[in-house]
Structures are given as structure tokens and as C-alpha cells.
Chains A and B, each alone.
Chain A
């Protein structure tokens, strides 16, 4: 009996890895590009391979990685959010106003997480249950959330306990460790019934609904998780800067979409993988760092960024058509 079960686990294991390898096919080219940029960056910035250099680099990548994941979850279910930046700002100001107060660091972190989950869930309910287009709901929502951030902290200020800033944004690769944990949690989530429904709900909502997949619940859960990731990124940004700023997250909305799309996540839902989105965010982050080190002026950075994004999205399309 034990013999049979061992061989079936072994077969199951090989099947698992075969499927995982298959999911890399679409993003293999991207991995090569990321690696090339990584090597280029390593040449430009020799400190990359020291402990603190690696820590600094992963810290500049970390918030972008989180918002790319936040956007990718939604896009996988066929949704999208234009409120990412506002949520990051809200997370940052909440962290900066509560963590030195009576709530303390643990209470502040809990509050930031709960607000992210709550706002995400409410957005999800509005989009899913009231059947309003996600792009417009999150557009209106971004005004509400940005307004709330302004109410919490009308102008840059607040404070983060210095030890927390040192821990998250100091010379230790703690941020990278957190990211690894987040990715492992994502793997775990994909194994739950809700996580399993995620792709089905995005790829073919009607078919999934008729097959008994909890489409609505999967989509609402995706919005809640997305909100949590955004406010978490806000907390980290606050720790990085040591204070809160009600508009600090603005650039994350567009960058999250760019990272997810660079990573091969489709707009129609159900297409793409989280590893792609993470690689996309890493590429975007590397691109900005490399251009900074090469002494590109901001103008050239904008121009190059625009061209690279279009190229990265258009070239696979051409290859698909040529096939």
C-alpha cells in the first residue's frame, strides 16, 4: 500500500513540475531580458552583490512588486484597478499617523491591513454585485480614497518608529524576505478553493458560473487581497521615507499596470502568471535603476520607458502572428 502511494506521489510530483515548467513558456523571453538587465546593472553598480547593495536594490523593487501583484490578481479575474496609487498613499499615511501613537506598530500594521482588506472588499462588492465596470468604479474610488488620505494627513508628516524603518529599509534584506513570504502565501492561496476559482472566473466567467465555480466570491476576494497588498506597499513606503505623504502613491497606478502587462498578464482575464507579473515589476524597477546609473535625463527616461513598454508588449504579438 505504501509502495503504491509513494509511486503515485512521485508521479504527481513530476506532473506538478511539468505543469509549472509549461507555465514558464510565455514568460521565458521576459526572464532572459530581466537577466540581461540584471547583469548590466551588476556591471554599473558593483555593490549589487554585497549584502547592503542587494538590500537597497530589493527595497527599491519591493513596493512595485507588491502593487504589480495587486494589479495582476485583479487582471487575472478580468478586472482592473485605477485606485492602486490612492490605496498606497492611504496605507502610508495610516502607518505614519498610528504607529507612533497609542496603537503601536502592531496595532498600526493591523489597522493598515484591515483598511486595505475592507476597502478592497467593498470595491469588489460594488463591481461584482452592482455590476458596474471596474475601471470606472475604481476611478471614482480613487477620488474617495485619495480624499480619505488627505483627511488622515492633510500634508506630509507623521512618523514611523526608527527601528521599523531600519528593519524594513535598512541594510538587511528583510524586504526581500517579506516578498518571498508573500509569494509563498500566494502559492498557498492558489491551492484553496477560492484561489482555484480565480483563473476560471477570469477566463470564462459564464462557463465557470454554470459549472458551480464561486465566481462572485473569487472576484470579491481578489479585490480584497489586492487592497491588502496596496496598503501593505504603502506601509513599506512610509517606512522607507520615515513619514507619510498623502500623494506619495500616485505613480504606482500606472506602473502597476505597466508591470503586469510587461509580465504577460492579459486584460481579458485568466491569461498570465504571477511570476510573470513579478518579473515585469523587476524589469521596470531595473530599467529605472539602469537608466539612472547611465545618467539618462528624466526626459530620456520617460521616452525610453514608453518605447520599451510598447516594444515589450508588441514584439510577442508579432511572434504569435508569425507562427
Chain B
């Protein structure tokens, strides 16, 4: 290969990256941040931006599971309920013999992963549509939550949980560090393993994937299991940040996780997308929310602004192909 060819190749690769949707979403975030910090005093302060990313970490982690499910051709409407189950259920697993607080966390993660696996079982083996399966699961968990919490808030006296929610090693909130680790693992699994390749194949064409030897049932279960695990992790971080868990604490994360996935350019129809887009998608969502709070409008106008902005951003990243 001549030097000119190599230069051409690298230039076309650069062009592909610059015009890709994840990059575009990152560019929008950067633009919004720059404009907002000129317009609004204090928006561009390091502390404020760090706070935004810390809030985005929770959405981003839930969106990681959602991205897996959506790329595989499904959707998980039970994430909010699972986040709440994790946040409210954690104190139940508290064991006095374990001063580090690691045991309850592991128990909660195992539980939420199991919930996700049951979702996958229903979708893969009972052939229930993902929307119905996860919706029914959310209804079921809602009942379970009333038994567990009985309407009152629970307080976590777990040192590890409060560390994850409040500590700042090297000046960076622990939640963000967790998100960074999750992001790296997710991106590697998604784009550099056979499992990831099967995921995209399944989302693009389930029948073709099945005929090519993709184990549909186990892959589907794994995908929903991952989503359950991520929602559980997010629930633990939310509990640490809030200090208290209550029924409804996870509610904002259902719509946020789907919006982050779609804003990041992942097709809601499956088979196309990347978690690299959901990351800036989550940050963008939090940024929009923060900006709307700055505007100081009534709740009605805030809701209208939020919906309109998401709709406008969708035009940039969410369009389907034309019918011919």
C-alpha cells in the first residue's frame, strides 16, 4: 500500500468517525455546554459540569442495559421498577457480620439480574412480546415493592453504598468512575466479542440469525439479564446519592434510558447502534433538564420544553429509512 492510499484511508476513516452519530451527539453536548456557559452564569463551572455528569452516570448505566436490549431487537420497560427494587430492597439484605457492606450489594445485584433473566425467559421461551413481558414484570414488581416498603422510605446504613454515592477519589465522584468502568466493559463486549456480534445479528434479522446458528434463547436471556444487572447497579448508586430509598425513586429512569439510547443514534427497531452514542445521549438529557430548570418556568412549560427538545433532537438522529 502506498503512502497516498494510507493517507486516503485514514482520511475516510476520520470522516466516518466525524459524521457518525455518537460523535454528532458528543458535538451537540459540547455545543450546548459552550453556549450555555456563556449565557448562564455558573453553568460552565467545573463543579457544575461534574455534577451534571454524575447525574448522567445513573441514566447512562441504566441506558447501558437498555442499549443491549434495544440492539437485540427488544425493549425493557421494567428498568424503572428494577432500579426501585434495588434501592428499596438493599437494606433488607443487610448482614451485621459483614462490616464492608459488600454482601448486600452482591445479593441485590444477583436478585436484579435474576429478575432480568425471568424477563428474558418470558421473551425467549414463552414468546411474549418484550413490551408486554417487561410491562407485566413492572406491574408485578410494583406489587412486590408495596410488600417490601409499605410506602415508607428506607435508609441505607451501608458504608460501601454511601461511598459509591458520595466519595470523590482523585476529585472525581465514584459514580462517574463506576460509569467509566461500565462503559469500557460494555463497549468491549458489544463490539469485540462473539456475543456482541450475535446481538447485532439477532436485532437485524432474528430468523436469519437463528438459521445461522445464533442461540436465540440464551442470547435473549443474557441481554435481559444484563439489563437487570445494570438497573440494579444504578439503583445502588441512586440509593447512595440520595441516602434514602423510596417507592418511585426509579421512575424517571425508564423514559430517560430509552431517550438516551435513541438520541445516541441506536435504532429502536434493533440491529443498529452503539453504546458510544448512549453515553453522550445520557449527558445531553441531563443537560437539557438542567437548562430547563435554569429557565425557571412552570412545571407545565418545563414538560413541554423537554418534550419539544427531545423531538427536535430526534430529527437529527432518529430517522428511519424511506419506503421505496
| A residues whose Cβ falls under 8 Å from a Cβ of B | 126, 130-133, 135-137, 139-151, 154, 205-206, 209, 215, 254, 257-258, 261, 267, 298-303, 305-307, 309-310, 313-314, 317-318, 321
Return chain B residues, CB-CB under 8 Å to A318: 126
Q: Mark B256-284, 1 if CB is under 8 A from A, else 0.
A: 00110010000111000000000000000
B93 at the A interface (CB under 8 A):
no
Which of B128, B310, B322 is the one whose CB lies under 8 Å from A313? B128
Which of A130, A132, A146, A267 is the one whose CB lies under 8 Å from B303? A146
Is A206's CB under 8 angstroms from B307's CB? no
Return chain A residues, CB-CB under 8 Å to B268: 133, 135-136
Return chain B residues, CB-CB under 8 Å to A301: 143
A293 → B minimal CB distance (Å): 19
Most A C-beta atoms less than 10 A away, residue of B128, B255, B303 = B303
Which chain B residue has the least Cβ–Cβ distance from A267? B129
In the complex, 6 of the A-B residue pairs with CB atoms within 8 angstroms, ordered by the A residue number, are: A130-B319, A132-B315, A136-B268, A143-B307, A151-B300, A303-B140
Return chain B residues, CB-CB under 8 Å to A306: 136-137, 139-140, 143
Which of B139, B142, B259 is the one whose CB lies under 8 Å from A136? B259
Which of B146, B255, B262 is the one whose CB lies under 8 Å from A133? B262
Known contacts being A136-B262, A298-B143, A305-B139, is A141 close to B311, with CB within 8 Å? yes
Interface of B is mostly: helix
B residues 173-192 near A (Cβ < 8 Å) are none
Using A143-B303, A306-B139 as known contacts, list a sample of 14 further A-B pairs with CB atoms less than 8 Å apart, ordered by residue number in A: A137-B314, A140-B310, A143-B304, A143-B306, A147-B300, A148-B304, A261-B132, A302-B146, A305-B136, A306-B143, A307-B140, A309-B132, A309-B135, A317-B126
Return chain B residues, CB-CB under 8 Å to A309: 132, 135-136, 139
Q: Mark B136-154, 1 if CB is under 8 A from A, else 0.
A: 1101101110110000000
B299 at the A interface (CB under 8 A):
yes
B295 → A minimal CB distance (Å): 13
B320 at the A interface (CB under 8 A):
yes
Most B C-beta atoms less than 10 A away, residue of A126, A140, A151, A310 = A140
The contact size tier of chain B is 35 or more
Return chain A residues, CB-CB under 8 Å to B75: 135
Return chain A residues, CB-CB under 8 Å to B307: 140-145, 147
Bound state CA distance, A148 and B143, in angstroms? 31
Bound state CA distance, A298 and B143, in angstroms? 7
Bound state CA distance, A314 and B303, in angstroms? 37
Most A C-beta atoms less than 10 A away, residue of B122, B132, B137, B268 = B132
Is A313's CB under 8 angstroms from B129's CB? yes
Is A132's CB under 8 angstroms from B140's CB? no
Is B128's CB under 8 angstroms from A310's CB? yes
Return chain A residues, CB-CB under 8 Å to B147: 299
Interface of A is mostly: helix
Is B314's CB under 8 angstroms from A147's CB? no
B41 at the A interface (CB under 8 A):
no
Q: Mark B300-324, 1 if CB is under 8 A from A, else 0.
A: 1111111110110011001111111
Which of A150, A257, A298 is the one whose CB lies under 8 Å from B135? A257
Return chain A residues, CB-CB under 8 Å to B52: none
B131 at the A interface (CB under 8 A):
yes
Which chain B residue has the least Cβ–Cβ distance from A308? B136
Bound state CA distance, A130 and B129, in angstroms? 27
| B residues whose Cβ falls under 8 Å from a Cβ of A | 75, 122, 126-129, 131-133, 135-137, 139-140, 142-144, 146-147, 255, 258-259, 262, 267-269, 298-308, 310-311, 314-315, 318-324
Return chain A residues, CB-CB under 8 Å to B142: 302
Is B315's CB under 8 angstroms from A130's CB? yes
Is A205's CB under 8 angstroms from B128's CB? no
Known contacts being A151-B301, A258-B132, is A310 close to B314, with CB within 8 Å? no
Return chain A residues, CB-CB under 8 Å to B314: 132, 136-137, 140
Return chain B residues, CB-CB under 8 Å to A257: 131-132, 135
Is A151's CB under 8 angstroms from B298's CB? yes
Return chain A residues, CB-CB under 8 Å to B301: 147, 151
Bound state CA distance, A317 and B299, in angstroms? 44
Is B132's CB under 8 angstroms from A303's CB? no
Is B132's CB under 8 angstroms from A132's CB? no
Return chain B residues, CB-CB under 8 Å to A313: 126, 128-129, 132
Return chain B residues, CB-CB under 8 Å to A258: 132, 135-136
Which chain B residue has the least Cβ–Cβ distance from A299? B143
A141 → B minimal CB distance (Å): 6
Bound state CA distance, A142 and B298, in angstroms? 17
Bound state CA distance, A302 and B81, in angstroms? 13
Return chain B residues, CB-CB under 8 Å to A150: 298-300, 303
Is A132's CB under 8 angstroms from B319's CB? yes
Most A C-beta atoms less than 10 A away, residue of B133, B144, B298, B300 = B300
Bound state CA distance, A205 and B322, in angstroms? 12
A286 → B minimal CB distance (Å): 17
Is B122's CB under 8 angstroms from A314's CB? yes
Return chain A residues, CB-CB under 8 Å to B321: 131
A11 → B minimal CB distance (Å): 38
Is A139's CB under 8 angstroms from B136's CB? no
Return chain A residues, CB-CB under 8 Å to B131: 257, 267
Which of B133, B267, B305, B318 is the one whose CB lies under 8 Å from A310? B133
Return chain A residues, CB-CB under 8 Å to B310: 139-140, 143
Which of A147, A206, A261, A314 is the one whose CB lies under 8 Å from B302? A147
Which chain B residue has the least Cβ–Cβ distance from A317? B127
Which chain A residue has the least Cβ–Cβ distance from B303? A147
A318 → B minimal CB distance (Å): 8
Bound state CA distance, A145 and B308, in angstroms? 10
